[in-house]
């Protein structure tokens, strides 16, 4: 609870105590003087609602007449004029109680956003000439070495050059389990170093780092309003003057036309004003979106505005990029098939053959081998473009390459069906076996797609530049039936246009990608989702939401948060308008008192605010 909230609570409590004393005194006639009782009511009124009256007067002076402060002031002052003292103070008291509920709810929402803002680093330990100097992160240049001690937050993106440790990534990804990193690992700013001291070579300036981009996204998220928020803002702008004019006509016309009691119709008009205050709508709808954005952030999903949060609930189609999104974007050895040779020996021979190559396939084989290469064992090495490599290892001629190399050398080999990349190996002209290499599918990709189907996604499409056979095999494993392969970046945009205009498209379209070449498609889709951990800066910039841990299953979490938030917004709109219209009609015909007005205004607002606070909580996956 903030300091201002505590002060307001103390003030309202004192005023409420005086109000209670005045009511009891009036009921048991302890004080005979009506003026003294009026004085106690007035004192409690100004202690409780003096700030409301002050704001109303100030706003009138600036031309902003028709707001909730004006409605509360004119209604309560009017109640005093018709001698309804308890009702006048009660209306202001319960209005302030509603404001306290609102402040608490906003404080909770802001706190959930503020937790994300805690990732801002205060300093960087720059290593210069063997000494450690504390610098502002924005003063550290690319390529410099920084020291991060246990318990400190990593200030800039970089590569680990010394040491190993576990990182708390929860501020970025929403995941509670730490991530182990070692020399050569990429690390992101905003993570907390848990165990050992590490040294990092920076790869980005602070302004371009992950933490800076997240802070920018969080700060700007609430500025993009959803359609529901815009509707409520416009609604309140026209609604309030109409209500004030209607109340004035209700107070004046019946007595003038029928000779009815002025006091009775004045009371009805004041009750009408209290009921009509649009607090429940004006407060609870933006609060619901704010809470939804905060809840998504705590789950490791950064949504760039309420408009995108609302659009997510209308999504029926998701289009995926393949490499780096559904797959890890890196090759790995998946199968070793020896031919009259030990599997370990086949892998060793292949690793030595690929020693001098920097191709991703060569790197994956050496990584699978995992042992130190003794360069002295290699006498000759020749790379043959389009075929493979030839080396002389321990006096043996080793060939490692594709099927074309085996055919050219007249070596009988085992063909492998499917979309896998295959490296065939031969020793002294004799086939030794082959190694299968694939771009690994993300561990949670299949589960994530299953969750998306449960979340209401009806159509899933894969766009990729890969060969058709590879694309179809990946899609089959994940349960995606609509695949478009061998696409250039421009082709992907054209295909996205077709999907957006197709008759099968019954809602909003989400595109999920990670690479620089995905940026145009991310920008063209109704909602662009980028993988934030490994995604390119261009993709993150073009996207409307960023998944910080690169998990496909987080998409279903984002959709569930969106659906929950929109459901809460609709509940509040229907509930608030329904109750108000009903009690307004009762007030117009004289069947609703000022106490009923208090419930219709403050009671409805409090219930709507409490309901809106549910958007802050995490959703079940």
User: Nearest CA to 435 among 529, 338, 513, 315?
Assistant: 338
Among 88, 90, 92, smallest CA distance to 78 is for 88
Distance spanning both ends of the chain, measured CA to CA: 31
d(CA 476, CA 496): 21
Q: Cα 472 from chain centroid?
A: 31
Q: 158: which residues sit within 8 A by CB, 6+ positions away?
A: 146, 186, 187, 200, 201, 202, 203, 204
* DSSP structure string for 206-264: GGGSHHHHHHHHHHHHTTS--HHHHHHHHHHHHHHHHHHHHHHHHHHHHHHHH---HHH
- SS3 label, residue 328: strand
Task: Give how far Cα 480 sits from Cα of 84, 311, 322, Å.
Answer: 69, 23, 11
Catalytic residue among 157, 168, 321, 514: 321
Closest of 498, 185, 141 to residue 319, by C-alpha: 498
Which sign does the torsion angle of CA 244, 250, 251, 256 carry?
positive
- Contact assessment for residue 615 and residue 286, using Cβ atoms and an 8 Å cutoff: no
Q: Which two tokens stand for residue 31?
A: 């004080």
CA distances from 545 to 305, 488, 523, 526, 558 (A): 9, 24, 11, 11, 9
3-state DSSP helix/strand/coil percent for the chain, to nearest 5?
A: 55, 20, 25
Residue 373: phi, psi to the nearest 5? -85, 125
Separation of alpha carbons 267 and 521, rounded Å: 61
321 is catalytic: yes
Task: Give the whole-angstrom CA distance, residue 53 versus residue 556.
Answer: 47
Residues catalogued as catalytic: 321
């Amino acid at each position: 609870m903030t300091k201002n909230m505590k002060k307001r609570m103390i003030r309202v409590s004192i005023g409420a105590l005086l109000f209670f004393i005045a009511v009891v005194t009036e009921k048991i006639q302890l004080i005979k003087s009506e003026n003294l009782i009026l004085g106690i009511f007035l004192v409690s009124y100004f202690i409780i609602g003096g700030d409301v009256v002050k704001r109303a007067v100030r706003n009138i002076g600036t031309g902003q007449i028709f707001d909730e402060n004006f409605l509360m002031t004119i209604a309560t002052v009017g109640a005093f004029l018709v001698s309804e003292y308890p009702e006048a103070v009660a209306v202001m008291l319960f209005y302030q109680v509603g404001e306290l509920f609102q402040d608490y709810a906003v404080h909770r929402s802001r706190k959930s956003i503020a937790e994300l803002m805690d990732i801002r680093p205060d300093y960087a330990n720059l290593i210069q000439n063997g000494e450690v100097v504390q610098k502002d992160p924005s003063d550290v240049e690319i390529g410099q070495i920084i020291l991060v001690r246990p318990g400190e937050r990593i200030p800039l993106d970089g590569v680990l050059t010394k040491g190993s440790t576990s990182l708390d990534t929860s501020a970025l990804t929403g995941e509670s389990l730490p991530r182990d990193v070692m020399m050569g690992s990429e690390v992101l700013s905003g993570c907390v170093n848990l165990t050992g001291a590490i040294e990092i070579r920076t790869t980005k300036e602070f302004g371009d780092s992950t933490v800076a981009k997240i802070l920018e996204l969080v700060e700007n998220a609430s500025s993009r309003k959803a359609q529901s928020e815009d509707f409520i803002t416009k609604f309140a702008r026209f609604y309030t003057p109409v209500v004030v004019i209607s109340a004035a006509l209700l107070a004046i016309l019946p007595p003038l036309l029928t000779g009815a009691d002025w006091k009775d119709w004045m009371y009805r008009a004041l009750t009408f004003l209290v009921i009509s205050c649009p607090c429940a709508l004006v407060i609870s709808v933006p609060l619901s979106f704010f809470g939804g954005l905060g809840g998504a952030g705590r789950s490791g999903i950064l949504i760039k505005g309420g408009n995108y949060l609302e659009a997510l609930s209308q999504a029926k189609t998701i289009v995926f990029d393949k490499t780096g999104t559904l797959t890890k974007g890196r090759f790995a050895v998946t199968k070793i098939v020896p031919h009259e040779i030990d599997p370990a020996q086949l892998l060793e021979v292949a690793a030595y053959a690929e020693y001098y190559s920097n191709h991703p396939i060569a790197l994956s084989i050496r990584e699978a081998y995992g042992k130190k290469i003794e360069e002295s064992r290699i006498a000759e090495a020749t790379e043959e473009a389009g075929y493979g490599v030839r080396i002389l290892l321990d006096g043996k001629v080793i060939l490692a390459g594709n099927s074309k190399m085996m055919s050219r050398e007249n070596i009988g080999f085992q063909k492998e069906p499917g979309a896998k990349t295959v490296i065939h190996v031969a020793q002294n002209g004799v086939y030794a076996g082959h190694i299968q290499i694939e771009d690994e599918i993300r561990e949670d990709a299949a589960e994530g797609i299953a969750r998306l189907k449960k979340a209401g996604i009806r159509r899933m499409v894969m766009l990729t530049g890969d060969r058709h056979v590879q694309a179809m095999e990946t899609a089959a494993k994940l349960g995606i039936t609509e695949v478009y392969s061998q696409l250039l970046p421009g082709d992907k945009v054209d295909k996205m246009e077709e999907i957006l205009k197709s008759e099968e498209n019954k809602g909003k379209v989400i595109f999920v990608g990670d690479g620089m070449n995905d940026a145009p498609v991310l920008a063209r889709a109704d909602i662009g989702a980028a993988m934030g951990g490994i995604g390119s800066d261009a993709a993150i910039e073009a996207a409307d939401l960023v998944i910080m841990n690169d998990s496909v299953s987080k998409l279903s979490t984002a959709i569930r948060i969106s659906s929950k938030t929109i459901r809460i917004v609709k509940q509040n709109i229907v509930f608030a308008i329904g109750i108000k219209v009903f009690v307004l009609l009762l007030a117009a015909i004289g069947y609703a008192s000022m106490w009923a007005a208090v419930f219709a205004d403050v009671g409805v607002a409090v219930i709507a605010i409490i309901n809106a606070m549910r958007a802050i909580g995490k959703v079940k996956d």
